[in-house]
Amino acid sequence: MGIGIVISTLIMTKVKINYEISDYQVEKRARAMGMKYPEEVKFIIDKGVSK
């Protein structure tokens, strides 16, 4: 078991994982999940409404 841990550690140190994605891809994924910019959202401010 100890040898397996050593071998797997050596293999993992050789592997580089690259998680870089572009800003466009981030925004595309966020919009697919429902992201909206504040200037895209229309709202009505009603002064007489109380909570």
pLDDT digits (tens, 9 = 90+) for 17-46: 777 889 999 999 999 999 888 888 777 666
Torsion sign (Cα): 36, 38, 44, 47? positive
- Whether this prediction's pTM lies above 0.85 is answered by no
Residue 46: what pLDDT? 66
Q: Where are the domains of the chain?
A: 18-46
Residue 32: what pLDDT? 95
* pLDDT at 6 > cutoff 60: yes
Distance CA 19, CA 1 (A): 31
